[in-house]
Amino acid sequence: MPTRTIAGQTVQVNDEGFMTVPAEWNKDIAVEIAKEEGLAELTPAHWKVIDFCRQSASTSGSAPTLRAITTGAGITTKEMFALFPKGPAKKVAKISGLGKPEGCV
């Protein structure tokens, strides 16, 4: 399994750069990945979605889909695309230290 160093921490990742061990994640890593994904800063609205995704994944074992996020976090699809442009479910999963959501290409 490949590894990479993010925010000074070595973490396990897959071939697409998604973390494979969610327990290795922390908020500093999230901030660094967000910058790599083109997000200059994470606002409270971003953290609401990230926290929901991590909570959801801890119970289900996988990253939530876009529909699950909008329903569970109480955010519209339009807001998700504004917060996490160009593939919000995939992008938030990566920032949250989770695997790629099922159904994402």
Q: What is the pLDDT of residue 103?
A: 61
Is the confidence at residue 104, as pLDDT, over 70?
Answer: no
Is the confidence at residue 1, as pLDDT, over 90?
Answer: no
Q: How far is CA 40 from the centre of its chain?
A: 15
The pTM of this model reads 0.92
7 CB-side CA count, 13 A: 15
Is the confidence at residue 77, as pLDDT, over 70?
Answer: yes
| Residue type at 18 in one-letter notation | F
Domain boundaries, the chain: 3-95
Q: How far is CA 61 from the centre of its chain?
A: 14
* CA-angle at 49, arms to 34 and 95, nearest 5°: 25
pLDDT tens-place string over residues 4-59: 999 999 999 999 999 999 999 999 999 999 999 999 999 999 999 999 999 999 99
